[in-house]
Amino acid sequence: MCGITSFLSLGQTPAPREREQLEGEINESLEIVKHRGPDASGKWISADNRVGLGHVRLSIVDLSASGNQPFHDASNDVYAVVNGELYDHERYRAELSAEYDFRGNSDCEIVLALYKHYGLDFLSHLRGEFALVLWDAKREFFLATRDRYGIKSLYYTVSGGRLLVATEMKQFLAYGWQAEWDVRSIVERGLIFDDRTVLDGVKKILPGQYLVSRNYGEIQTRKYWDMHYPEKFTKEVRTEEEMIEGVRQRLLDAVRVRLRADVPVGIYLSGGIDSSAIAGMVVHLVKEGAKLGDSSSQDLSRIQCFTVQFDKDSGVDESDVAQRTAEFLGVKFNPVHVTEEVLAERFEKAIWYSEAFMADVNGAGKLAMAEVAHNAGFKVVITGEGSDEHFAGYSYFQDEFLLEEDPSWTPDDYDKAKYEEAVSKAGTAKFAGYKFSGTPTLPSTTRTLNNTRIAGILKGAIPLSIAPWALEKYGASDAQTVFADSLDGEVRHAIAKRWHPLHGAEYIWTKTAFQMSLLRYLGDNIDMAYQVESRPAFLDHNLTEYANNLPPSLKIKCNYDSGTFTEKYILREAVKPFVTEEIYKRKKQPYVAPMRYAVDGPMHRKLKELVSQENVEALGFVDWEETQGLVEKAIVGGDNFAFRAAVAIAQYVVLSKRFGVKRATPEGAR
Euclidean distance between the first and the last CA atom of the chain, given in angstroms as a whole number:
37
Strand order in the sheet with 2-9: 40-45, 51-57, 2-9, 162-166, 155-159, 203-204
- Tell me the average pLDDT across 542-565: 94
Q: What is the pLDDT of residue 462?
A: 79
- The burial of 150, by beta-carbon neighbours within 10 Å (0-12 exposed, 13-18 middle, 19 or more buried), is given as buried
Question: 172 by DSSP, 3-state: which?
Answer: helix
- Which residue type, as a one-letter code, is found at position 76? N
Kindly report, residue by residue over 62-78, the tens digit of the pLDDT.
Answer: 999 999 999 999 999 99
User: Strand pairing partners for 203?
Assistant: 156, 196
Q: Do residues 647 and 433 lie in contact, with contact meaning Cβ atoms separated by under 8 Å? A: no
The pLDDT of residue 17 is above 90? no
Is residue 542 within 8 A of residue 260, CB to CB? The reply is no
Q: CB atoms < 10 A from the CB of 210, how many?
A: 21
Sign of the dihedral through C-alpha 309, 314, 316, 317: positive
Say what the pLDDT of residue 432 is.
Answer: 56
More confident residue, 417 or 342: 342
Q: pLDDT digit string (tens) for 405-446?
A: 999 998 888 888 888 888 888 877 665 555 544 556 789 999
Q: Are 60 and 263 in contact (CB under 8 A)?
A: yes
Q: Is residue 590 very low, low, confident or very high in pLDDT (cuts 50, 70, 90)?
A: confident
pLDDT tens for 242-255 read 999 999 999 999 99
Neighbouring-strand partners of residue 78: 136
Domain segments of the chain: what residues? 2-223, 259-385+527-539, 602-659
User: Chain centroid to CA 642: how far?
Assistant: 26
**The dihedral sign for the CA sequence 88, 93, 94, 99:** positive
241: left (phi over 0), alpha (psi -120 to 50) or beta: alpha
Q: What is the pLDDT of residue 15?
A: 77
Q: How far is CA 125 from the centre of its chain?
A: 21
- CA–CA gap between residue 136 and residue 142 (Å, rounded): 7
What's the angle, vertex CA 452, arms to CA 446 and CA 453, rounded to 5? 95
CB 92 within 8 A of CB 103: no
Rounded to whole angstroms, how far apart are CA atoms 493 and 207? 21
Range scoring the smallest mean pLDDT among 102-106, 447-451, 477-481: 477-481
Q: Which of 395, 415, 391, 394 is nearest to 405 (CA)?
A: 415
Cα(346)–Cα(344) distance, rounded to whole angstroms? Answer: 6
CATH class of the domain comprising 259-385+527-539 = alpha beta
DSSP-derived 3-state class of residue 469: helix
Instruction: In whole angstroms, give the CA distance from residue 380 to residue 259.
Output: 9
For domain 2-223, is the CATH number 3.60.20.10? yes
Angle in degrees, CA 473, 475, 479, rounded to 5: 140
Active site residues: 2
C-beta neighbour count of 124 within 10 angstroms: 12
Mean pLDDT (the chain) is 94
Q: Which of 420-434, 460-474, 483-497, 520-534 has the lowest mean pLDDT?
A: 420-434
pLDDT digits (tens, 9 = 90+) for 147-179: 999 999 999 999 999 999 999 999 999 999 999
Q: How far apart are CA 400 and CA 398, in angstroms?
A: 5
